[in-house]
Amino acid sequence: MNQILTDQEYKKVIERIQQLSEIKNAHSIFLPEIDALRQLAINYEFKRYDLTLVKSSQQQLPATG
């Protein structure tokens, strides 16, 4: 998996991270996979919640709050 495209894929990645993290004795064996999955999740979160992609015309807020 090179990138996460949907919320469903994101949930699967998070579940896999949790599964691997719960394995106490083999944690160091799965560390590279956990790191890769975390990076995928972080990249998805950056893309999904990137507020700079919102058009400025839709984001007109009053200056006084």
Assigned token pair, 61: 């807020």
Confidence of residue 58 (pLDDT cuts 50, 70, 90): low
Confidence of residue 21 (pLDDT cuts 50, 70, 90): confident
Residue-wise pLDDT tens digits, 22-57: 887 766 788 899 999 999 999 999 988 887 766 554
Task: Give the number of residues written for the chain.
Answer: 65
Assigned token pair, 41: 């999740």
Compute the average pLDDT of residues 59-65.
Answer: 54
Tell me the whole-structure pTM to 2 decimals.
0.66
Confidence of residue 62 (pLDDT cuts 50, 70, 90): low
Q: Determine contact, residues 39/17, Cβ cutoff 8 Å.
A: no
